[in-house]
Amino acid sequence: METSVGIVTTEYAEFDLELRLESGRLLGPITLAYETYGTLNDRRDNAILVTHAWTGDAHAAGRHHPDDRKPGWWDGMIGPGKVLDTDRFFVICSNVIGSCKGSTGPTSINPRNGRPYNLNFPVIMVRDMVRAQVLLIDRLGIDRLVTVMGGSMGAMQALEWGIHYPERVRSIIPIAGTGRTSPMAISLNAVARQAIYNDPLWKKGNYRPEHPPADGLALARAIGHISFLSDASMQMKFGRRFSARDGQFDFFGQFEVERYLEYNGGSFIDKFDTNSFLYLAKALDLYDVAFGFDSRREALSQLQCPSLWFAFTSDWLYPPYQTEEVVEILRELDKPVEYHLIDSAYGHDSFLVEPEKFTPKVVELLDRLTAEK
């Protein structure tokens, strides 16, 4: 019977070192916030790393307090008897560097001057996030992961693990991902950035935490949120319904979809730091699996383990063809690759809304890997 992992605690790993980033800059010391679910076995070979999306965090399952209104962001996936069965696996989720959810990021104190980094924080790439995760996996005494699994930016991390640390992973499961961010996705982030830059409270990143550029961040989040949805999901959820509280000919009257975006953006400003939002958006824009290689083909040739890929029919942020381009190269290279196009109306967010449509294939892979040990 499926049950929750219960009450969980976020832990913090401190690393008194300097990590060399892709930019050439050094970042340190480093803190990584993480949570674990299940038990690491005596052989230390049953660990799974779950990687989060853009504004996600380490709290993937369970609750921090019995009164918490919501559990972790992938609670339906992680726990006894669930897809990532904590009776079998030791599941780890860490917050990425650059974030504001416990790991080192722009809100952290710069040891050189004792003040928050703000825009003195170095530009990071997805590959740098993975380098930091390797420190954590080493600290936990794990040589090899059963799989690295995540959606969106989490899919990028999974692919980077497979390419740069092939000896450390037995498989990867990238969901709703891409091999390189498209001009359209970059343009959406560019508009979101301008919304923040044009907020007078942003002050070139030197805003006071108690007075963030709320209007700019709320608008930036609303722009991003549109890209997570789809025409079909908006039709289902809102249609062309006009807000019941407004008159249709009131100039400032709103459709329900407008009110939803306003609410979603407004609630986000209390949950996430503006500079962290910008730094992670930059990391997404910079993502290209071929960075540092002569081609995508050369990069993907480094992948040795089986990879299980999922794309969603209505995803227009990272549409299926972008996953299929990567899968096709892997097939040409005769790599062990499996791909499934999932029919879903929920756009990019499908991997969070309808996981039951793809999870049976995940269970099949995990069962196969377990049987092969």
The enclosing domain of 45 has a CATH number of: 3.40.50.1820
Tell me the per-residue pLDDT of 139-194, one tens digit each, with 9 for 90 and over.
Answer: 999 999 999 999 999 999 999 999 999 999 999 999 999 999 999 999 999 999 99
Task: Determine if residue 349 is labeled as part of a ligand binding site.
Answer: yes
Residues of the chain with pLDDT under 70: 1-2, 373
On whether residue 351 sits in a domain, the answer given is yes
303 close to 289: Cβ distance less than 8 angstroms? no
Q: Read off the tokens for 97.
A: 């560097």
On whether residue 5 sits in a domain, the answer given is no
Residue that is last in its domain, among 281, 301, 334: 281
Cα–chain center distance at 139: 22
Same domain, 159 and 228: no
Same domain, 192 and 110: no
Q: Read off the tokens for 209.
A: 């935490």
The residues annotated with a catalytic role in the active site are 152, 315, 348
Same domain, 238 and 173: no
On whether residue 64 sits in a domain, the answer given is yes
Same domain, 59 and 201: no
DSSP state for residue 244 in the 8-state scheme: T
What's residue 1's pLDDT? 46
Q: Domain residues for 213?
A: 186-281
**CA proximity to 3, closest of 46, 70, 51, 61:** 61
How far apart, in whole angstroms, are the C-alpha atoms of residue 326 and residue 324? 5
Task: Determine if residue 221 is labeled as part of a ligand binding site.
Answer: yes
What's residue 250's pLDDT? 79
How far apart, in whole angstroms, are the C-alpha atoms of residue 176 and residue 323? 8
**CA proximity to 284, closest of 173, 199, 193, 217:** 193
How far apart, in whole angstroms, are the C-alpha atoms of residue 221 and residue 226? 9
Cα–chain center distance at 272: 14
Domain count, the chain: 2
**Beta-bridge partners for 172:** 148, 307
**CA proximity to 155, closest of 363, 25, 317:** 317
Question: What is the domain-level CATH number for residue 275?
Answer: 1.10.1740.110
How far apart, in whole angstroms, are the C-alpha atoms of residue 292 and residue 274? 29
Same domain, 171 and 234: no
Same domain, 59 and 169: yes
Same domain, 49 and 126: yes
Cα–chain center distance at 36: 17
| List of residues 6+ apart from 96 with CB closer than 8 A | 51, 52, 103, 129, 132, 133, 153, 157, 280
What's residue 373's pLDDT? 66
Same domain, 274 and 305: no
On whether residue 232 sits in a domain, the answer given is yes
Q: Read off the tokens for 123.
A: 């530009």
| List of residues 6+ apart from 24 with CB closer than 8 A | none
Same domain, 174 and 32: yes
On whether residue 302 sits in a domain, the answer given is yes
**CA proximity to 279, closest of 27, 14, 29:** 27
36: helix, strand or coil? strand
Same domain, 299 and 262: no
Same domain, 148 and 239: no
Residue that is last in its domain, among 281, 310, 325: 281
On whether residue 2 sits in a domain, the answer given is no
What's residue 372's pLDDT? 83
Residue that is last in its domain, among 249, 281, 313: 281
On whether residue 1 sits in a domain, the answer given is no
For residue 52, count CB atoms less than 10 angstroms from its CB and return exposed for 0-12, middle for 13-18, buried for 19 or more. buried
On whether residue 4 sits in a domain, the answer given is no
Same domain, 125 and 213: no
